[in-house]
A and B are shown apart, each in its own frame.
Chain A
Amino acid sequence: MAGASQPPVRLALDSLPGAPREQLHLLPCVVQHDGGASVQRYFSPAIRGPQEPQPGDESTVSFRGRMLKGKQVLVPEGYLGLVLEEEEEAPYLSPEERNVRVKSTFESITAWNLERAPNGSDEILMAFSWPKIAEGRMKTKVGKKSSS
């Protein structure tokens, strides 16, 4: 609905093959900051847990003096996570279209919670179950014309 008045967004697919893989962290707080963060210098060295965490593995860290517990969560099967970045040459001024590039990709994220590790009732873990349900839903609709 709202998209009708928005300019189209063009994703530069050629930026995908060269994009580095990154480890993503989902924090249980809002950091009012727009821009880069020194994750490698401050955050990563402070994580305690398995060296190379496997899905489901738990670890601990602290952020701004608060204890976080985290869990490795895989992106749903058949999906790839993308971090997109708007190209600077095409600033907001051009109303016709916007161009974004793939900055990095990810196959898992570390979901962090305040003082307790994420479990099945956390939004991110529940949300990742949707693609499988959607897939099942599509299969049952084969032959019918979808109206939604």
Chain B
Amino acid sequence: MDLGAFERDNSVNCLLDSAVPSVCRTEPCSLGIDEAGRGPVLGPMVYGICYCPVARQRDLETLKVADSKTLTEAQREQLFEQLNEANDFVGWALHILSPNFISTSMQQRAKYNLNALSHDTAIGLIQHALDSGVQVAEVFVDTVGPAEKYQEKLKLQFPGLEVTVRAKADSLFPIVSAASICAKVARDRAVKNWKFLEDLEDASSDYGSGYPNDPKTKEWLAQTLDPVFGYPQFVRFSWSTAQTILESKAAPVRWDDSEDDSSQKSAQSLLCFFARKDAPAERPLHRYFHERKLEAVTSL
């Protein structure tokens, strides 16, 4: 797995994939989907798919793939190598969602929540496999949110596929375990080798796992804060961990579309209609100047 394409510009998303094994173009395939890095406040979130012919799932079991969370980092790396060696019948694809994409999507004017983001990314990856010529027959997904709703959404999108959405799918179906290993390996590598596009000078690069409760991550978040810009793009600004620190320690920022702003506008006091109007009114500016926020400067 070469993360070079993502590392060249880690402010945007990146799709990586293996070559499609020729057997996967002719035989009906089983495809598993899982994600890695949903919880952390740092770094990308990675979606992985792994696929192989339905008839060869047993061969996958002999590789002893298991839920990536029950494995050590070294074991995951080793299993990923084995999956790559099995490239005559196993293929994979990854979609790396940059933390900048996560922050800006979740904080869009029209909010884009994490579940919707997850679902759309999963749908995109299934479509990518289909477009690459994989004969997908069945799909196994580790659930994000309520399983039934998600399953319905996927079935509606792909009526021709047998879709199974299940909690803990990564420990139930080897093809999902394989997908979880691919995703987790990519996430770990991306975090470990994160190249800051910002110039952080002498800031420490000891940021830990990125989980909000990791003491190293907490320490790093406390030390890296810039009063104006807040954090480098490595940080997910939409996470409450980051927002709490920004609200208390960084310079307050008020946006045009912020909620307290609009409430201020609508909360015009009734009293203003009774105010005395005998103060000498200045000649109002012409609308032209008003609309352009232009006024004569008479002092600094």
Write the residues of chain A forming the contact surface with B, with a CB cutoff of 8 angstroms: 1-3, 6, 9, 28-33, 37-38, 40-43, 45-46, 48, 62-67, 84, 98, 100, 114-115, 123, 126-127, 130
Contact = CB atoms under 8 A, between A and B. Distances in A.
Given A63-B229, A67-B104, A127-B293, A46 B198 contact: yes
B292 A123 contact: yes
Contacts of B242: 65
B296 to A, nearest CB: 9
Given A32-B251, A32-B252, A65-B236, 11 more contacts: A29-B253, A37-B228, A43-B229, A62-B103, A64-B229, A64-B230, A64-B246, A65-B230, A66-B108, A66-B255, A115-B108
A31 B230 CA distance: 11
A66 B251 CA distance: 16
Contacts of A40: 199
Main secondary structure of the interface of A (DSSP, over half): mixed
Contacts of A38: 226, 228-229
A40 to B, nearest CB: 7
A41 B201 contact: yes
13 contacts: A28-B256, A33-B251, A38-B226, A38-B228, A46-B197, A65-B100, A65-B230, A65-B242, A67-B108, A114-B109, A115-B108, A123-B292, A127-B292
Contact of A98 (B107, B256, B298, B300): B300
A123 B292 CA distance: 5
B257 interface: yes
A100 B106 CA distance: 43
Contact of A1 (B108, B232, B298): B298
A62 B104 CA distance: 7
A28 B227 contact: no
Given A63-B229, A64-B230, A9 B252 contact: no
Nearest to B109: A115
A61 B268 CA distance: 35
B233 interface: yes
B44 to A, nearest CB: 14
B156 interface: no
A65 to B, nearest CB: 2
B291 A45 contact: no
B228 A31 contact: yes
Given A37-B229, A40-B199, A67-B104, A123 B293 contact: yes
A58 B237 CA distance: 24
Nearest to A130: B294
A131 B280 CA distance: 30
A120 to B, nearest CB: 12
A67 B237 CA distance: 12
Contact of A48 (B11, B292, B298): B11
B194 to A, nearest CB: 14
Q: Which of B227, B236, B253 has the largest count of A CB atoms less than 10 A from its CB?
A: B253
A6 B230 contact: no
A45 B10 CA distance: 12
Contacts of A84: 300
B233 A46 contact: yes
B252 A66 contact: no
Contacts of A9: 299-300
A1 B295 CA distance: 13
B5 interface: no
